[in-house]
């Protein structure tokens, strides 16, 4: 075995690499994510201490900053959240040009963000190798609403509302450090001309959907983050959708709630 090749492998040249193959093109929160982790041996035999998989997303947070004076300002920063993770329970040796496969199943949390607008979800795979650069793989994922939330969104769309912006923002009191917010604008239908926009915070668990609504009739947008209002208990329009409801019934219940609220 060439010492020169070993040296190159330690620098990441001709080293083992990892690829993660996802057979599912579209993912649904609350459902399992099956992946095939493929480890390809390099030009020399190498020790693999571990394989780590991280399901990640990003969200916006507000922090107070000081610029050397007595005034404190709030600024938005981007945070990374690990939604789920998995590690191989043993180490192994990968031979030169050898290929090994590992079948892995991750549980997608209910509140994995829907990948619309600026919301992104990805899977990172890290190959942990001693005395060498760790090999990495990153795969962007497509996440769509579960049937219950899809029924709500379909009803809002049929009522003339269109999604304009989607963001994940920091919030306290939930299993994850953020909630996902959806901003709708009425382009036709019964709310056109009555509302400027509708913002919705969605939280999903096994019992169903929890939804908070804020309706803006003004000529300017909301100030601050909607999730911040939620944390201070200032969002009064709250609706629960039990998991037992049919998606169409869920949409009808939300529209009826919004009609009563306005």
**Of 141, 160, 184, at which residue does a domain stop?**
141
Rg (CA), the chain: 23
Tens digits of residue pLDDT in 96-149: 999 999 998 888 999 999 998 888 999 999 998 876 566 788 999 999 999 999
Statement to judge: residues 63 and 126 lie in one domain? yes
Statement to judge: residues 183 and 136 lie in one domain? no
Angle at 108 between CA 106 and CA 111, to 5 degrees: 155
**Of 85, 118, 141, at which residue does a domain stop?**
141
Statement to judge: residues 109 and 195 lie in one domain? no
Q: What is the pTM of this model?
A: 0.82
The CATH number for 21's domain is 2.60.40.640
Statement to judge: residues 9 and 122 lie in one domain? yes
Statement to judge: residues 152 and 130 lie in one domain? no
Cβ burial, residue 243 (10 Å; 0-12/13-18/19+): middle
Beta-bridge mates of residue 66: 72
Statement to judge: residues 165 and 90 lie in one domain? no
Confidence of residue 227 (pLDDT cuts 50, 70, 90): low
Count of structural domains, the chain: 2
Statement to judge: residues 136 and 152 lie in one domain? no
Domain region containing 199:
147-261
Statement to judge: residues 126 and 204 lie in one domain? no
Statement to judge: residues 36 and 60 lie in one domain? yes
């Amino acid at each position: 075995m060439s010492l020169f090749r070993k040296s190159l492998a330690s620098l990441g040249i001709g080293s083992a690499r990892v690829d993660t193959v996802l057979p599912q093109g579209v993912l649904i929160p609350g459902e399992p994510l099956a992946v095939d982790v493929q480890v390809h041996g390099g030009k020399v035999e190498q020790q693999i201490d571990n394989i780590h998989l991280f399901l990640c997303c990003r969200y916006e947070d507000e922090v107070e900053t000081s610029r050397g004076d007595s005034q404190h300002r709030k600024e938005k920063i981007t945070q990374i959240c690990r939604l789920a993770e998995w590690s191989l329970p043993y180490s192994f040796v990968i031979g030169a040009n050898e290929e090994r496969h590992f079948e892995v199943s991750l549980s997608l949390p209910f509140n994995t963000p829907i990948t619309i607008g600026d919301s992104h979800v990805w899977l990172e795979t890290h190959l942990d190798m001693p005395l060498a650069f760790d090999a990495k793989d990153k795969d962007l994922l497509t996440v769509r609403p579960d049937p219950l939330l899809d029924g709500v969104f379909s009803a809002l769309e049929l009522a003339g509302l269109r999604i304009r912006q989607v963001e994940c923002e920091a919030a306290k009191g939930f299993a994850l450090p953020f909630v996902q917010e959806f901003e709708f604008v009425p382009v036709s239908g019964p709310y056109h001309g009555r509302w400027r926009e509708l913002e919705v915070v969605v939280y999903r668990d096994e019992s169903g959907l929890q939804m908070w609504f804020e309706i803006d009739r003004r000529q300017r947008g909301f100030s601050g983050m909607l999730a911040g209002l939620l944390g201070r208990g200032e969002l009064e329009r709250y609706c629960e959708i039990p998991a037992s409801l049919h998606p169409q019934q869920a949409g009808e219940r939300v529209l009826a709630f919004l009609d009563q609220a306005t």
